[in-house]
Structure 1
Amino acid sequence: MSRAININAPQAHVLAACAKRKVPISTIETLVSGGTRVVMNNAADTATMIAAYGSKVISTPVRRMPTRMGPL
C-alpha cells in the first residue's frame, strides 16, 4: 500500500484530522485539481486516514503543483 493519499478536503482540514488521530505527516500539499495530497510515515497511518475520510479519498488521477521551476 502506498503511504500517499489524495483527499477531497482543504489542507487545514486534513492537518486537523491527522492531529486529532495522532497520525504524523511526512509531507502535505494542495492539489491543482482541488483537494490535498498527504503522505503518512507508514501504511498503518495511511489506512487510518483512508478509513476516516471514506468517500472523500480521491481515486482518480490528480494534477499536482510542479515542485521545480526549471532544469537544475
Structure 2
Amino acid sequence: MSRALNLSLPEEQVVATCLKHGVSISAIEPLQSGGTHLVCTTSEGAEEIRLEFENHIIDGVVKRFPFFRAGGPW
C-alpha cells in the first residue's frame, strides 16, 4: 500500500488531522492544481488518513511542482 496521497484539501487541514490521529508525515507539499500531496511515514498511517479523507482523495495523475522544499517540521 502506498504511503502517498493526493488530497483536495488545504495543507493546514491535512497537518491538523494527521496530528489529531497521531499520523507522522514524511513529506507534504501543495499541488499546482490545488490541494495537498501527503506522504505518511507508515502505510498504516496512510490508510488511516485514506479512511478519514475518503471523499477528498484525488484519483489519477496530478500536476506537481518540479521542485518543492517544505518548511517542516510537522
What is the TM-score when the length of structure 2 is the normalising length? 0.88
- Larger Rg computed on CA atoms: 1
Q: Which runs of 4+ in 1 moved over 3 A?
A: none
**3-state SS of paired residue (1:47):** helix
Corresponding residue SS for 2:22: coil
| Unmatched 5+ stretches in structure 1 | none
Gaps of 5+ in 2: 69-74
Q: RMSD value over aligned CA atoms?
A: 1.1
Q: Secondary structure at the match of 1:51?
A: helix
What code does the residue aligned with 1:50 have?
R
Aligned residues: 68
Q: Percent identity of the aligned residues?
A: 37
Matched, 1:45 2:45: yes
In the superposition, the TM-score normalised over structure 1's length comes to 0.90
Deviations 1:9-60 (A, max 9, x none): 0000100010010100000000001100000011110000000001101112
SS at match of 1:34: coil
2:59 is matched with: 59
**What is residue 11 of structure 1 aligned with on the other side?**
11
